[in-house]
Amino acid sequence: MTDQAELGLFIYGIVPSDVEPTPDAAGVGDPPGEVEAVRQGDLAALVSEVGLEQPMGRPADLTAYQTLLDGTAAVAPVLPVRFGTVVTGPDAVQDLLSAHHDRFAEALDELEDTFQYTVHGRYDEQELISEILAENPDAAQLAEQVRGRPELESREARIRLGEIISQSVELRREAENKQLVDAVGGYARHTAPRQPSSELDAVNVAFLVGAADEDEFVAAVEEFAEQRRDLIRMRLLGPLAPYDFVSAHQLVE
Amino acid sequence: MTIATTSGGAQGGSALERGGGGGGGGTLADVVETVLDKGVVIDAQVSVAVVGIQLLEINARIVIASVETYLRFAEAVDRMSITPKNQKGLPDLVGDAAGAATKGKAISGLGKAAQEISGAVADSLSNRGTDEERERPRRRRDGERR
């Protein structure tokens, strides 16, 4: 990148104006940009300079973005701004903050002392299929036709078997997600279902949890996981910035 | 903080793996899934100052119901041993006695795991704030405000 390269400001998130980036906070880009706060009244945006000709979205960029936002969320409320949002300069950031001041301020108030936790579970394929074959005679029969036979000869049976399993997983997933929300949602302020990210996904739900309820929430998730330990590989991601709890259309009038 | 990776199984007897948080410990897949297509949208409709930049194409989406998925499931069935473990469909041959034994075992296993879990939680909560000092903004104390 030359010194003449055109620069823009990459926006990470919106925070109260008393948030101060630490000097070593690393931004997106190569080399990593220096993260600064652009303030406007009681709001600020965390930003760093980026060269406009540099494609954005390398793994390191995504990780830097999440690291910064999660780190911020640990100490102050933050509204994540969608990855890849770049504006022309500090003036544009200030215009943006003043134009939507009330909405941003209100959202930050609601997010004070909260964190996102994402509960993501995947079925153990063997356990899952064993259970499905055990409870579904049609599937068990098809399994007999399929086993040990070349795919070309048994293709039709394979597709029917796979479809039964797939539908069964979908029903289980729906039930599992509901049970998760029933079991742990009481410790969360808000719940946001997430799209499954693989065909073996069992649960995938984001929760917005108040700091005071964190221990109880985690304990409840652990109990939920314990009850399904052979069937589902359960993971708890967090505390995170509230990625799933800022409306995607917040700014569209 | 307990950090989980995708390569390991459930660690330390806990049925729940911990990850993410401060961007630490999460895999790239986690990061992509967590942050992509999330967050406040500020587009040209809202502000003319928004600059379009080139985003590398990141394919995070998968198609879940497809013939490929069906065939993959069927292949998984094919790979499994003829008698799947924990065969619940086995007619009453196994009988009540075996059932009771399995139950007892599961309960004692659960007690042990529960103890380990509570340890893991205390650990991960108390460590927060000490191992994530880097790369994050701090909040000024009131005294520093102006």
pLDDT digits (tens, 9 = 90+) for B76-126: 998 886 554 444 444 433 333 333 333 333 333 333 333 333 333 333 333
- Quote the pLDDT of residue A157: 95
8 A C-beta contact, residue A232 and residue A203: yes
Categorize the per-residue pLDDT at B46 as very low, low, confident or very high, splitting at 50, 70 and 90.
Answer: low
One domain for residues A181 and A223: yes
Q: Which residue of A81, A197, A221 is in closest CB contact with B39?
A: A81
The C-alpha of B96 sits at a distance from chain A's nearest C-alpha, in angstroms, of 18
Domains: count for chain A: 2
Q: Is residue A58 part of a domain?
A: yes
Q: Which of A96, A112, A128 is the last residue of a domain?
A: A112
Q: Which amino acid appears at position A115 of this protein? A: F
Categorize the per-residue pLDDT at B27 as very low, low, confident or very high, splitting at 50, 70 and 90.
Answer: confident
- Quote the pLDDT of residue A231: 96
Q: Is residue A20 part of a domain?
A: yes
Measured at the CA of B83, the angle between CA B82 and CA B85, to 5 degrees, comes to: 130
Categorize the per-residue pLDDT at B44 as very low, low, confident or very high, splitting at 50, 70 and 90.
Answer: low
8 A C-beta contact, residue A195 and residue A117: no
- CA-based diameter of chain A, in Å? 71
The C-alpha of A22 sits at a distance from chain B's nearest C-alpha, in angstroms, of 5
- What burial class does residue A119 get, using C-beta atoms within 10 Å of its C-beta: 0-12 exposed, 13-18 middle, 19+ buried? buried
- Quote the pLDDT of residue A213: 97
Q: Is residue A139 part of a domain?
A: yes
- Quote the pLDDT of residue A22: 87
Q: What is the pTM of this model?
A: 0.78
One domain for residues A237 and A141: yes
8 A C-beta contact, residue B146 and residue B16: no
Taking the CA atoms of residue A97, residue A103, residue A104 and residue A109 in that order, the dihedral angle to the nearest 10 degrees is 150
pLDDT at A168 over 60: yes
Q: Which of A97, A112, A127 is the last residue of a domain?
A: A112
CB neighbours of residue B63 within 10 Å:
8
Q: Which residue of A22, A56, A126 is in closest CB contact with B138?
A: A22
Of A197, A198, A196, A199, give the one whose Cα is nearest residue A177: A196
Distance of CA A136 to the CA centre of its chain: 34
- Quote the pLDDT of residue A173: 97
Chain B residues closer than 8 Å to A69 by CB: 35
Measured at the CA of A116, the angle between CA B39 and CA A252, to 5 degrees, comes to: 25
Q: What is the mean pLDDT of residues A163-176?
A: 96
Query: For A78-136, how does the pLDDT look when each residue is reduced to its tens digit (9 = 90+)?
Result: 999 999 999 999 999 999 999 889 999 999 999 999 999 999 999 999 999 999 999 99
Q: What is the mean pLDDT of residues A127-148?
A: 95
Strand, coil or helix: what is A56? Answer: strand
Chain A residue whose CA is closest to B34: A243
Residue contact B88–A218, C-beta within 8 A = no
The C-alpha of B100 sits at a distance from chain A's nearest C-alpha, in angstroms, of 18
Q: Is residue A252 part of a domain?
A: no
Residue contact A82–B40, C-beta within 8 A = yes
One domain for residues A83 and A120: no
Q: Is residue A197 part of a domain?
A: yes
Residue contact B19–A235, C-beta within 8 A = yes
- Quote the pLDDT of residue B47: 62
- Pairing type for strands A232-240 and B16-19 reads parallel
Q: Which of A83, A112, A141 is the last residue of a domain?
A: A112
Cis, peptide link before residue A32, omega less than 30° from 0: no
Chain B interface, mutation test: which of A53, A86, A170, A236, most B Cβ atoms within 10 Å?
A236
Q: Which residue of B38, B39, B87 is in closest CB contact with A134?
A: B87
- What burial class does residue B137 get, using C-beta atoms within 10 Å of its C-beta: 0-12 exposed, 13-18 middle, 19+ buried? buried
Chain B residues closer than 8 Å to A221 by CB: 16
Chain A interface, mutation test: which of B77, B81, B117, most A Cβ atoms within 10 Å?
B77
One domain for residues A122 and A90: no
Query: For A198-245, how does the pLDDT look when each residue is reduced to its tens digit (9 = 90+)?
Result: 899 999 999 999 999 999 999 999 999 999 999 999 999 999 999 999
Q: Which domain holds residue A38?
A: 7-112
Q: How far apart are CA A12 and CA A64, in angstroms?
A: 10
One domain for residues A176 and A224: yes
Residue contact A67–B39, C-beta within 8 A = no
User: Phi first, then psi: what are they for A12, rounded to 5°?
Assistant: -90, -50
Please name the helix (run of DSSP H) or strand (run of DSSP E) that holds residue A119, with its range, or none.
Answer: strand A114-123
Chain B residues closer than 8 Å to A46 by CB: 137
For the four alpha carbons of A157, A159, A160 and A161, in that order, the dihedral sign comes to positive
Per-residue burial over A42-63, b = 16 or more CB atoms within 10 Å of its CB, e = otherwise: ebbbbbbbbbeeeebbeeebbb
Chain A residues closer than 8 Å to B102 by CB: none
Q: Is residue A215 part of a domain?
A: yes
One domain for residues A125 and A237: yes
One domain for residues A135 and A94: no
8 A C-beta contact, residue A194 and residue A205: yes
pLDDT at B55 over 50: yes
One domain for residues A123 and A199: yes
One domain for residues A88 and A11: yes
Q: Is residue A251 part of a domain?
A: no
Chain A interface, mutation test: which of B34, B45, B59, B112, most A Cβ atoms within 10 Å?
B34
Query: For A57-76, how does the pLDDT look when each residue is reduced to its tens digit (9 = 90+)?
Result: 888 999 999 999 999 999 99
pLDDT at B11 over 70: no
One domain for residues A91 and A151: no
Chain B residues closer than 8 Å to A215 by CB: 121, 125
Q: Is residue A175 part of a domain?
A: yes
DSSP B55: B
Which tokens sit at A213?
């309820």
Which tokens sit at A195?
């799209």
Chain A residues closer than 8 Å to B36 by CB: 62, 83
The C-alpha of A167 sits at a distance from chain B's nearest C-alpha, in angstroms, of 9
| Torsion region of A85: left, alpha or beta (phi above 0 gives left; psi -120 to 50 gives alpha) | beta
Of A178, A208, A204, A182, give the one whose Cα is nearest residue A193: A204
Of B132, B137, B2, B46, give the one whose Cα is nearest residue A37: B137
Chain A residue whose CA is closest to B50: A87
Q: Which amino acid appears at position B54 of this protein? A: Q
Count how many residues are written for chain B. Answer: 146
The C-alpha of A92 sits at a distance from chain B's nearest C-alpha, in angstroms, of 6
- Quote the pLDDT of residue B82: 58
Categorize the per-residue pLDDT at B28 as very low, low, confident or very high, splitting at 50, 70 and 90.
Answer: confident
- Quote the pLDDT of residue A61: 93
One domain for residues A215 and A146: yes
Chain A residue whose CA is closest to B125: A215
One domain for residues A85 and A149: no
Q: A217-231, B43-57, B97-111, B131-145 — which is least confidently predicted?
A: B97-111
- Quote the pLDDT of residue B106: 35
User: Phi first, then psi: what are they for B51, rounded to 5°?
Assistant: -100, 130
Chain B residue whose CA is closest to A239: B21
> Alpha helices, DSSP H only, in chain B?
28-35, 67-79, 95-126
Chain B interface, mutation test: which of A151, A160, A237, A246, most B Cβ atoms within 10 Å?
A237
How many Cα atoms occupy the beta-carbon half-sphere of B49 within 13 Å? Answer: 17
